[in-house]
Amino acid sequence: MNHWTYIVLLTIISCNNQQQKVSRSDTSASSTPSTLTDVRNNSDNEICWAGTLNGKTPVILHYQLDSNLIIGEITYLNTKDKLPIKLLGTIEDDKSYRLLEFEKSGNIAGVITGIPTDNIFNGSWGSPKTRKQLVLNLVKKDTVIESKTTYTQLQDIFGHYHYQYSEAGYQGDFEITKLPNSRASFGITSVTGEPARNVAQIDEDTISLNTTRFIYKMPDTDNCEFEVKFYKGFAYIKYTKGFCDGQFGMNATIEGIFLKTK
């Protein structure tokens, strides 16, 4: 059995295995329509790719899309247990993909970038810690994987969320706590990488919360508004009116994907 046949065979087995596993006051928040609903995934099937990292390490990558959000997993087939790694990312304005390999701690161990076509996904993999860059070459596979649910229930969203690009890189924390009478308190702090450590911060505030998403307008600002969407195991924070100019330290931002760690 030659090398590529081996990779294809492992791809089919792995994809099939994945399929079997699935069988401040209230006035601070912007006025949000009562029709705002819980976050639910819109796709039924996942896109599956197989190929190599740096021309020699066989990998499988699969994901589903929710608007510009990418939710999936990557598996390195040369590892002993071949355990899938959580992969979360976004589709940027130029249609490029930016995918983050999340460890359970919220640390981002790898960043994948590239622009997939109909059948080819050529890009790069980089380590935030070592700055090492490797070439990634993937081919789309016809194997259909049933999407895992990304939906979470309101009672499950409360806790601590975190991300970091190594100890020296960008990092952020998001905390949300349940309060009586459909209310919650939350706060966000993010910092840029060393040595500057410029800060973006939303001081702890209280909001009304009836769904797994909310929109918040930063007090005493005209356009600093963002939306928080909760998914199973993570939260996605995105500005709704453009970057909050002048509100945070240079290059600091609250926007991003935060993994639930507690």
Please give the C-alpha separations between residue 44 and each of 63, 66, 81, in angstroms, as whole numbers: 11, 11, 27
DSSP string for residues in 5-20: HHHHHHHHHHHHHHHH
Domain ranges, ordered by start, for the chain = 3-23+42-146, 154-260
Beta bridge partners of 188: 174, 202
- The pTM of the full predicted model, rounded to 2 decimals, is 0.84
The reported pLDDT for the residue numbered 4 is 44
Strand order in the sheet with 159-164: 199-208, 183-191, 171-179, 159-164, 256-260, 234-239, 225-231, 213-217
| Reduced DSSP (H G I as helix, E B as strand, rest coil) percent helix, strand, coil of the chain, to 5 | 10, 50, 40
The reported pLDDT for the residue numbered 145 is 72
The reported pLDDT for the residue numbered 23 is 31
- Residue at token pair 């209230």: 26
Q: Give the total residue count for the chain.
A: 262
The reported pLDDT for the residue numbered 38 is 61
The reported pLDDT for the residue numbered 146 is 75
Question: What sign has the CA pseudo-torsion 238, 95, 246, 32?
Answer: negative
Cβ contacts of 5 within 8 Å, gap of 6 or more:
none
119-148 pLDDT per residue, tens: 999 999 999 999 999 999 999 998 767 778
- What CATH code is assigned to 3-23+42-146? 2.40.128.120
Residue 215: strand, helix, or coil: strand
199-242 pLDDT per residue, tens: 999 999 999 999 999 999 999 998 999 999 999 999 999 999 99
Residue ranges in the chain whose pLDDT is less than 70: 1-44, 144
